[in-house]
């Protein structure tokens, strides 16, 4: 195998490192406070941590055994730690967003297209400032940041 | 295999094994049908997806025999630019690609290795069938192909997959798996269409010893199985050298048995003889799927069990 192939996708990654019970509680509290995700939604899953990210991975007794392999990625990139805040990934919201009950921003097609194009648009809402779930015509699109007077896209 | 051959000349050696050979030849002039799988991890009701695709000019019909698969027209167009693709609601893949996964029959909680996984059609199908509850290790020898696989895992929202980059023939023996899928690199004869798919891989890579690579992969796949574990070997080629001969090789090298399995599409038994060479009689339990009979890429699937 070439040296290039040996390189990990995220060189800081040490896979897979499950979070402590306390860290898990913090994550679940955040998901429940901010988006109203029921905590038992993530019961079948483990959160794994790297320096800047949390990954969602199916709960399994094989986890330790798997560390014998040289792992590139494990599970779904779920939350990013962004300057002290947790930001859900678009992938996470597209998968689980339908179970959220809070801070869901329903956009019409025109506004969604404009946001995707311009990345940042003027926007007024009575939502709490912070990360929001973008929804349009019944579909979950992903993550954006709402600040008073503006909306910033985090869609890929 | 040197020089240019027409499809008729190329497939002539299969005249006696391909049923309705003339029908097969004439089917090669049709473009391959287009299919997608609905990603039930994100959506279980196909109606909004079908409605959305219709708005973008696609008509899709469910495939009766294979749940969650839809046949799409126009088949020449790409689903890759649709909103449904972007949002990870669909995975375009040929219908017969689902067959190895049906043979493997993945269950929640099982530890499964997909040895040649990229770009991930079968990995994500396994994740979907187990509702994201199996533990799937998706391997490919090339990092660029793993990057494409990881993008698909992210797009579909799959959380039960670990990815690794090893040469399949040298996969580490440290972890023992309940099930292993070897969807081997092959000459791709089953996907050949006149004028649409260009040359056959077999001709393009004339000197590659595909059969040798496939044997190495299959033996290693057996070696990383738990005793009693299940192994599925598949290719999208008609060539017995890449199919029955490879499985026959494993049966001579290791303690394995060929199992019967219930296929959702019309199939034919594996060959027990080719060009005067006999194969293990149990190879008739392997299944051959022909493009003109199933309206998709031709496939070979063998299900095996490790005995000791």
Asked whether the predicted pLDDT for residue A5 surpasses 60, the reply is no
Q: Is B55 helix (H, G, I), strand (E, B) or coil?
A: helix
Phi and psi torsions of B37, nearest 5°? -105, 135
Asked whether the predicted pLDDT for residue A10 surpasses 60, the reply is no
Residues constituting chain A: 156
Q: Please tell me whether the interface predicted TM-score (ipTM) of this complex is above 0.85.
A: yes
Chain A residues with CB under 8 Å of B153 CB are 73, 76
Tokens of residue B82, six digits: 């649709």
Closest of B245, B247, B237 to residue B289, by C-alpha = B237
Q: Is A153 helix (H, G, I), strand (E, B) or coil?
A: strand
* Predicted local distance difference test score (pLDDT) of residue A17: 86
Q: What is the DSSP letter of B132?
A: T
Kindly identify which residue of chain B lies nearest to residue A97, measuring between CA atoms: B42
Q: Kindly report the nearest CA distance between residue B225 and chain A, in angstroms.
A: 14
Percent of chain A with pLDDT strictly greater than 70: 90
**Cα–Cα distances in Å, from A24 out to A40, A42, A54?**
12, 10, 10
Say how far apart CA B72 and CA B139 lie, in whole Å: 30
pTM comes to: 0.94
pLDDT in tens, chain B (308 residues): 444 567 788 899 999 999 999 999 999 988 889 999 999 999 999 999 999 999 999 999 999 999 999 999 999 999 999 999 999 999 999 999 999 999 999 999 999 999 999 999 999 999 999 999 999 999 999 999 999 999 999 999 999 999 999 999 999 999 999 999 999 999 888 988 877 555 555 555 555 789 999 999 999 999 999 999 999 999 999 999 999 999 999 999 999 999 999 999 999 999 999 999 999 999 999 999 999 999 999 999 999 999 98
Any B CB within 8 A of A143 CB:
no
Q: Would you give the distance in Å from CA B236 to the centre of its chain?
A: 6
The answer to whether the Cβ–Cβ distance between A5 and B143 falls below 8 Å is: yes
Peptide linkage before B119 cis (omega within 30 of 0): yes
Say how far apart CA A25 and CA A27 lie, in whole Å: 5
* Predicted local distance difference test score (pLDDT) of residue B1: 41
Any A CB within 8 A of B87 CB:
yes
Any B CB within 8 A of A82 CB:
no
Assign A91 a pLDDT band (cuts: 50, 70, 90). very high
Residues constituting chain B: 308
Any A CB within 8 A of B201 CB:
no
Any A CB within 8 A of B168 CB:
no
* Predicted local distance difference test score (pLDDT) of residue B134: 98
Say how far apart CA A104 and CA A106 lie, in whole Å: 6
Nearest to B48 among A1, A77, A138 (CB): A138
| Model confidence pLDDT, tens digit, residues A39-73 | 899 999 999 998 899 999 999 999 999 999 999 99
Nearest to B157 among A6, A16, A91 (CB): A91
Chain B residues with CB under 8 Å of A69 CB are 137, 162, 164, 172, 174-175
Tokens of residue B237, six digits: 């080629």
* Predicted local distance difference test score (pLDDT) of residue B184: 97
Annotate B123-146 with DSSP letters as a single string: HHHHHHHTTT-SEEEEE-S-HHHH
* Predicted local distance difference test score (pLDDT) of residue B203: 55
Count of other CB atoms within 10 angstroms of residue B209: 10
Mutate to test the interface with A, among B39, B53, B85, B157 (most CBs of A within 10 A): B157
Closest of B202, B188, B201, B191 to residue B94, by C-alpha = B191
Peptide linkage before B74 cis (omega within 30 of 0): yes
B186 classed as catalytic: no
Q: What is the mean pLDDT of residues A30-45?
A: 95
Helix (H) or strand (E) segment spanning residue B216: helix B210-223
Q: Are strands B177-183 and B111-114 parallel, antiparallel or unpaired?
A: parallel
Say how far apart CA A20 and CA A16 lie, in whole Å: 13
Q: Is B116 helix (H, G, I), strand (E, B) or coil?
A: coil
Any B CB within 8 A of A8 CB:
no
Q: Kindly report the nearest CA distance between residue A24 and chain B, in angstroms.
A: 17
Q: What is the DSSP letter of B54?
A: H
Asked whether the predicted pLDDT for residue A8 surpasses 90, the reply is no
Beta-strand (E) ranges in chain B?
Answer: 34-38, 59-62, 69-73, 90-92, 111-114, 135-139, 161-164, 177-183, 225-235, 256-259, 268-269, 273-274, 277-278, 287-289, 299-306
Nearest to B158 among A69, A76, A140 (CB): A76
């Amino acid at each position: 195998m070439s040296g290039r192939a040996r390189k990990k996708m995220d060189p800081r990654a040490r896979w897979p490192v499950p979070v402590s019970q306390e860290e898990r509680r913090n994550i679940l509290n955040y998901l429940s406070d901010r988006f109203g995700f029921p905590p038992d939604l993530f019961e079948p899953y483990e959160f794994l941590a790297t320096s800047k990210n949390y990954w969602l991975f199916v709960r399994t007794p094989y986890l330790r055994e798997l560390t014998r392999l040289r792992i590139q990625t494990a599970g779904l990139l779920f939350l990013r730690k962004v300057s002290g805040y947790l930001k859900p990934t678009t992938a996470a919201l597209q998968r689980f967003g339908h179970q959220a009950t809070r801070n869901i921003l329903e956009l019409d097609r025109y506004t969604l297209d404009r946001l995707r194009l311009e990345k940042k648009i003027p926007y007024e809402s009575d939502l709490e400032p912070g990360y929001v779930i973008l929804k349009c015509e019944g579909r979950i699109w992903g993550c954006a940041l709402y600040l008073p007077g503006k909306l910033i896209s985090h869609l890929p | 295999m040197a020089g240019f051959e027409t499809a008729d000349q190329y497939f002539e050696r299969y005249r006696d094994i391909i049923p309705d050979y003339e029908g097969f030849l004439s089917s090669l002039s049709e473009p391959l049908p287009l299919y997608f799988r609905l990603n039930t991890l994100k959506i279980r009701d196909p109606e909004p997806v079908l409605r959305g695709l219709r708005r973008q000019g696609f008509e899709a019909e469910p495939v009766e025999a294979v749940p969650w698969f839809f046949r799409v027209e126009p088949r020449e167009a790409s689903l890759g630019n649709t909103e449904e693709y972007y949002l990870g609601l669909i995975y375009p893949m040929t219908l017969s690609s689902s067959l190895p996964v049906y043979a493997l029959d993945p269950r929640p909680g099982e530890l499964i290795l997909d040895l040649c996984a990229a770009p991930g059609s079968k990995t994500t199908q396994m994740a979907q069938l187990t509702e994201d509850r199996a533990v799937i290790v998706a391997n490919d020898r090339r990092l660029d192909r793993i990057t494409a696989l990881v993008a698909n895992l992210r797009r579909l929202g799959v959380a039960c997959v670990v990815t690794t980059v090893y040469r399949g023939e040298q996969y580490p023996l440290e972890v023992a798996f309940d099930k292993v899928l070897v969807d081997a690199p092959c000459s791709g004869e089953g996907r050949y269409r006149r004028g649409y798919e260009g040359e056959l891989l077999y001709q393009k890579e004339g000197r590659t010893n595909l059969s040798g690579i496939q044997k190495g992969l299959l033996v290693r796949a057996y070696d990383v199985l738990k005793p009693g574990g299940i192994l599925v070997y598949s290719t999208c080629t008609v060539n017995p050298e890449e199919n029955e001969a490879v499985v026959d090789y494993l049966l001579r090298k290791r303690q394995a048995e060929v199992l019967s399995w219930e296929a959702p599409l019309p199939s034919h038994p594996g060959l027990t003889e080719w060009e005067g060479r006999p194969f293990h009689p149990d190879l008739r339990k392997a299944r051959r799927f022909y493009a003109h009979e199933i309206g998709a890429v031709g496939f070979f699937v063998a299900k095996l069990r490790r005995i000791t």
